[in-house]
Chains A and B, each alone.
Chain A
Amino acid sequence: EVQLVESGGGLVQPGGSLRLSCAASGFTFSNYEMNWVRQAPGKGLEWVSYISSGGSTIYYADSVKGRFTISRDNAKNSLYLQMNSLRAEDTAVYYCARYLVVGATFDYWGQGTLVTVSS
């Protein structure tokens, strides 16, 4: 069974940093591209970042470019999101999502971790 478990969320002050993790199991993690998608409270979904299976290709949404860094450790079956210079508008539940090349879609999602940026 595919499982994605996010962790690392919490309350952080504006300008602060936070590192999210996503532990994957139930599939060969190193074979799959991965993404982060977020959802602000009461709002819709917003794609944040993509990383290829080997980590060599990375994309970011304009809203986080230059502030967030996606990475992965295939030996640890883990995906990460380093978030710096956090703003109030970054407050959201952050989901890691497995990418399915056929269909360019997100086929499995974790349960999410809440990041709150507030003073």
Chain B
Amino acid sequence: QSALTQPASVSGSPGQSITISCTGTSSDVGGYNYVSWYQQHPGKAPKLMIYGVTNRPSGVSNRFSGSKSGNTASLTISGLQAEDEADYYCSSYTSITTWVFGGGTKLTVL
């Protein structure tokens, strides 16, 4: 199972919005509404930010939102804040009962 494709890096200024894409296939992203997004600060464990394509866990800011079209899922962060600077990973359940992650995107807040 190949990793999902994410841009290596994105950047934005405080207050702006950014979007991170996550492209897979019909056997993972496109085939199920089981896309998740995780935030990881350096040296820390990943934190769940979005699950089931669009759902936010309790305690996650509503500045984070998710969507999906075909084989590509997206994470949008609005009103960028300095604390949002981190690595972001998407993941998806797959048709062969495994889970696959994206390669990760480094978000820089300028």
Q: State the CA gap A102–B93 with chains docked (Å).
A: 12
Tell me the bound Cα distance from A17 to B78 in angstroms: 46
Check if B45 sits within 8 Å of A103, measured CB to CB. Answer: no
Interface residues of B in 28-55 (CB under 8 A from A): 32, 34, 36, 38, 44-48, 51-52, 55
Q: Which of B53-110 contact A (CB under 8 A)?
A: 55, 57, 89, 91, 93, 97-104
B101 near A103 with CB under 8 A, answer: no
The 0/1 profile, CB within 8 Å of B marked 1, for residues 100-116 of chain A is: 10111111111110000
The count of residues in chain A whose C-beta lies closer than 8 Å to any C-beta of chain B is 23
Which among B1, B3, B97, B99 has the greatest number of chain A C-beta atoms within 10 A? Answer: B99
A61 within 8 A of B: yes
Inter-chain contacts of B52 with A (CB < 8 A):
102-105
CA separation between A22 and B102, bound complex, in Å?
25
Nearest CB to that of B33 among chain A residues? A103
Question: Which residues of B sit under 8 angstroms from A107, Cβ to Cβ?
Answer: 48, 51, 57
Known: A45-B46, A62-B1, A106-B36. 19 other contacts (CB 8 A): A44-B101, A45-B91, A46-B101, A47-B101, A59-B97, A100-B51, A102-B52, A103-B36, A103-B55, A104-B34, A104-B99, A105-B34, A105-B36, A105-B48, A105-B51, A106-B38, A106-B48, A107-B57, A109-B45
